[in-house]
Amino acid sequence: MLKFSKLPKIAGLAASVSLIFLLSACGSSSSTPSGDSSSKSTSNGKIKIVAAENFYGEVAKAVGGDHVEVSNILDNPNTDPHDFEPTPDVARTVSKAQMIIYNGVGYDAWMDKLINADSSSKSKSITKVADDVMGKKEGDNEHIWYNPDTMPKLAKKIADDLAKLDPSQAQTYQKNAQNFIDSLAPLQEKVQKLKQATGTKIDVSEPVFDYMANALNLDINDQKFSKAIDNGSEPSASDVAQLQSDIKDKKIKLLVYNTQNSGPTVENLVKMAKSSGVPVVKVTETEPKGKNYLQWMSDQLDQVAKALGIQ
């Protein structure tokens, strides 16, 4: 079982990132961008976009189409975003990008370091999704991609930003953005249907799914336990007892379980839920291999619908 750490390895990262950029510069004489962010890349005529997370890269590709070249840094669902350490190749890719998209609010702090170490970063179009698109700040729940409003808003921003870099294709980018937003209609329909369960009490092993739960108007019963797990610490005995009581006494209709961050305490609660007849909805922090964003979110909402008996 993959277990994601919630304690980012930031110590010494600034120095290592500086070294990475030094090695990157020495390794390629063409790695320094021209600084002209208003023109397309001269290599293949496409705007180079780097996305820290692949689900954001998916949006960028949908909006940019054939006019962009998208590189996703975190493209393996088994990679822990918190502990990721960029290589010289990653630094080189970032240095060549004209547009950078990443989560923000400390989730991918390594990207902040890469950008700060890149002397050409001021000429780039940079979007921190949680901060710039959804108005979040450091300390807020970082799993902003679980908010069903995030991707439509991001698509619109990417279209606007691409239009600034490539005005001749502005209408194309706007049309592509709308097409992408329209493609998410099935997800929005599921969200609306599940709102009939407004006020239903649930518990979560970790706040990965919280934005979606809020969109569905579900009531998360005990958040102290999940916040402790998210912070990489052991929940207090009283918080564990509260969750056990919620499950045994069926005070909740379902338990949301992040399968990528599990330990003995969480696993015991999952076993208790199953033996007590409380449905367990399995979610993941990263996009599963072979699925796109719509499929990923839809599969999880289908689990919620089944757990709540909503057809």
**Residue range 140-192, pLDDT digits in tens:** 999 999 999 999 999 999 999 999 999 999 999 999 999 999 999 999 999 99
Residue 230 to residue 124: CA distance in whole angstroms: 32
Instruction: Give the predicted TM-score (pTM) of the model.
Output: 0.88
Residue 72 to residue 181: CA distance in whole angstroms: 21
* Cβ–Cβ < 8 Å for 198, 136: no
Residue 5 to residue 12: CA distance in whole angstroms: 18
Question: Is 13-183's fold the same as 187-308's?
Answer: yes
Four-CA torsion 163, 24, 104, 229, nearest 10 degrees: 150
Written as six digits, the tokens of 56 are: 């954001």
CATH class assigned to 13-183: alpha beta
User: Can you tell me whether residue 216 is helix, strand or coil?
Assistant: coil
Which has more pLDDT, 92 or 261? 92
Residue 227 to residue 246: CA distance in whole angstroms: 17
> How many residues can be counted in the chain?
311
Cα angle 73, 78, 82 (rounded to 5 degrees) comes to: 65
For 19-31, the pLDDT digits (tens) are 444 444 444 333 3
* Cβ–Cβ < 8 Å for 143, 226: no
CATH class assigned to 187-308: alpha beta
For 45-91, the pLDDT digits (tens) are 999 999 999 999 999 999 999 999 999 999 999 998 888 999 999 99
* Cβ–Cβ < 8 Å for 281, 301: no
Written as six digits, the tokens of 46 are: 């496409």
Written as six digits, the tokens of 63 are: 């909006």
Map out the domains of the chain as residue ranges. Answer: 13-183, 187-308
- pLDDT class of 7 with cuts at 50, 70, 90: very low
Q: How many CB atoms lie under 10 A from the CB of residue 203?
A: 24
Tell me whether residue 118 is exposed, middle or buried, using C-beta atoms within 10 angstroms of its C-beta: 0 to 12, 13 to 18, 19 or more: buried
The confidence score (pLDDT) of residue 3 equals 56
